[in-house]
């Protein structure tokens, strides 16, 4: 039977963690009892440099619950880094990643397991509708997915970071050395057979979003600039159009030579200079963004640093198992 690892990134999630732990623990027990995954399956919580009581809650949980393990990163590395730390630093046959606020339906994990048993290597969780999100979040997210598709990035519409992968996929994923990591666009690049499960996204039960507008925009731009060179092509294309326009102006001036006084063209000249200086600045900025990306890639800094890992003590686990066996007999 296959060992399942449920990776849950947590950043300042003290309000929501107790209920998440209870719900996920119940689900994992259900899965292992139904023999859908091995009894060695675990919940792995990643504390992504939280400043609240997240780590204390996790420490306490891991001491009491043999199914829970926790990993603490040395500082805040961001959602993507936390997910990778969980998957890369631990051994399992199947990996599933899910947000700590359980906005994505955990019950789907059972359906995902079935799809894996039917031969899929990756199962994507896809949001059917997002009426629970705010109007702004919904519209901006939808705009983002459409823009990514338009720019030629193979992204799965309405899929975020709720997915199940086999060990094989995770091993292949490790070969992608990118520092600008945007998992939802990288995973489809791995290939293999994939399948989808659909669910309704529910509101956060407690706590607040860890993705305020500024962070969300940065995340979206990172996604676009890491996977698409279309913005650079647009710069070239705009430059070409402007040059053509310039040529038309030259032609016009040539034809109208001496028709007007010298001062009459002043306004249009200044307008054009300002306009095209602006276009040039924006173009340089976009090119600069890509150079900055190369700069970050070249440095090859680690995507995460693990500070500490805790799990239920092994000797206690043995007695716990014996106790459970005795209970059953
Ligand atoms: N998260 C993280 N590091 C961060 C920000 C967020 O590990 O720097 C985690 C967070 O604890 C949650 C998940 O990523 O489990 C998604 O964050 P959130 O629910 O706040 O995002 P939203 O659903 O609002 O987009
Ligand atoms: Mg959320």
Q: Tens of pLDDT along 94-116?
A: 999 999 988 889 999 999 999 99
CA-proximal residue: ligand 1, atom 24 (nearest): 209
pLDDT of 178 strictly over 90: no
CA-proximal residue: ligand 1, atom 13 (nearest): 99
What share of the chain has pLDDT > 90, as a percent?
39
Q: How far is the CA of 196 from the centre of ligand 1 (A)?
A: 22
Atom in ligand 1 nearest the alpha carbon of residue 46? 7
- Give yes or no: residues 95 and 166 share one domain: yes
Query: Which helix (H) or strand (E) segment is 327 a member of?
Result: helix 314-328
Q: How far is the CA of 318 from the centre of ligand 1 (A)?
A: 35
Give residue 225's pLDDT. Answer: 82
Residues 144-148, mean pLDDT to the nearest whole number: 83
Residues 159-172, mean pLDDT to the nearest whole number: 93
Give residue 302's pLDDT. Answer: 86
Q: How far is the CA of 167 from the centre of ligand 1 (A)?
A: 24
pLDDT of 206 strictly over 70: yes
Could you tell me the residue range of the domain that residue 246 belongs to? 230-299
- Give yes or no: residues 27 and 159 share one domain: yes
Give residue 49's pLDDT. Answer: 93
Q: Which ligand is nearest to the CA of 82?
A: 1
Which residues are in the CB-under-5-Å shell of ion ligand 2? Answer: 99, 101, 103
**Number of domains present in the structure of the chain:** 2
- Give yes or no: residues 124 and 197 share one domain: yes
- Give yes or no: residues 213 and 122 share one domain: yes
Write out residues with Cβ below 6 Å of ligand 1: 9-11, 13, 48, 76, 78-79, 82, 99-101, 103, 209-211
**For 175, which DSSP code?**
T
Composition of the chain by helix, strand, coil, percent to 5: 50, 15, 35
- Give yes or no: residues 214 and 249 share one domain: no
Q: pLDDT band at residue 328, thresholds of 50, 70 and 90?
A: low
- Give yes or no: residues 223 and 234 share one domain: no
- Give yes or no: residues 47 and 140 share one domain: yes
Q: How far is the CA of 281 from the centre of ligand 2 (A)?
A: 36
Are 46 and 82 contacting, i.e. CB atoms less than 8 angstroms apart? yes
- Pocket probe for ligand 1: among 9, 81, 202, the residue whose CB has the most ligand atoms within 8 Å is 9
- CATH assignment at residue 214: 3.90.550.10
Q: Tens of pLDDT along 290-312?
A: 888 888 788 888 889 989 888 87
Q: How far is the CA of 268 from the centre of ligand 2 (A)?
A: 51
Residues 171-194, mean pLDDT to the nearest whole number: 88
The rounded distance, in Å, linking the Cα atoms of 45 and 158 is: 24
Q: Which ligand is nearest to the CA of 11?
A: 1
The rounded distance, in Å, linking the Cα atoms of 312 and 196 is: 33
The rounded distance, in Å, linking the Cα atoms of 150 and 238 is: 18
pTM, rounded to two decimals: 0.75
How many other β-carbons are positioned within 10 Å of the β-carbon of residue 194?
A: 18
Give residue 320's pLDDT. Answer: 64
- Give yes or no: residues 73 and 120 share one domain: yes
- Give yes or no: residues 34 and 79 share one domain: yes
Give residue 18's pLDDT. Answer: 94
pLDDT of 317 strictly over 70: no
The rounded distance, in Å, linking the Cα atoms of 231 and 224 is: 9
CA-proximal residue: ligand 1, atom 16 (nearest): 99
Q: How far is the CA of 48 from the centre of ligand 1 (A)?
A: 10
Q: Which ligand is nearest to the CA of 134?
A: 1
Residues 155-170, mean pLDDT to the nearest whole number: 91
- Give yes or no: residues 35 and 125 share one domain: yes
- Give yes or no: residues 289 and 324 share one domain: no
Q: Which ligand is nearest to the CA of 304?
A: 1
Q: How far is the CA of 236 from the centre of ligand 1 (A)?
A: 37
Atom in ligand 1 nearest the alpha carbon of residue 99? 15
Atom in ligand 1 nearest the alpha carbon of residue 208? 20
Q: pLDDT band at residue 127, thresholds of 50, 70 and 90?
A: confident
CA-proximal residue: ligand 1, atom 2 (nearest): 79
Are 187 and 163 contacting, i.e. CB atoms less than 8 angstroms apart? yes
Give residue 258's pLDDT. Answer: 61
Q: How far is the CA of 205 from the centre of ligand 2 (A)?
A: 10
- Give yes or no: residues 213 and 244 share one domain: no
């Amino acid at each position: 039977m296959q060992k399942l690892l449920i990776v849950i990134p947590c950043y300042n999630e003290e309000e929501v963690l107790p209920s998440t732990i209870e719900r996920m623990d119940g689900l994992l027990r259900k899965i292992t009892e139904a023999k859908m995954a091995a009894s060695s399956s675990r919940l792995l919580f990643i504390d992504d440099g939280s400043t609240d009581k997240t780590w204390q809650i996790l420490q306490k949980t891991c001491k009491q619950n043999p199914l829970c393990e926790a990993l603490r990163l040395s500082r805040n590395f961001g959602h993507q880094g936390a997910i990778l730390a969980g998957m890369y630093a631990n051994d399992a046959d199947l990996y599933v990643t899910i947000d700590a606020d359980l906005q994505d339906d955990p019950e789907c994990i059972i359906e995902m397991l079935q799809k894996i048993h039917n031969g899929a290597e990756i199962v994507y969780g896809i949001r059917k509708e997002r009426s629970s999100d705010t109007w702004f979040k919904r519209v901006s997210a939808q705009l983002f997915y459409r823009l990514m598709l338009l720019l030629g990035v193979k992204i799965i519409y309405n899929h975020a970071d709720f997915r199940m992968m086999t060990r094989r996929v995770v091993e292949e994923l490790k070969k992608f050395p990118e520092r600008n990591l945007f998992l939802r666009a990288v995973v489809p690049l791995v290939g293999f057979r994939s399948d989808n499960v659909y669910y309704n996204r529910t509101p956060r039960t407690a706590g607040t979003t860890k993705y305020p507008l500024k962070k969300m925009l940065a995340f979206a731009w990172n996604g676009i600039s890491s996977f698409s060179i279309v913005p650079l092509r647009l710069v070239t294309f705009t430059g070409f159009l402007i040059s053509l326009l310039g040529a038309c102006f030259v032609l016009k001036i040539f034809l109208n030579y001496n028709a007007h006084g010298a001062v009459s063209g002043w306004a249009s000249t200044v307008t054009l200079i300002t306009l095209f200086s602006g276009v040039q600045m924006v173009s340089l900025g976009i090119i600069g963004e890509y150079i900055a990306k190369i700069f970050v890639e070249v440095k090859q800094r680690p995507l995460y640093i693990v500070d500490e890992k805790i799990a239920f003590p092994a000797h206690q686990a043995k007695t716990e198992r014996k106790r459970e066996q005795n209970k059953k007999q």
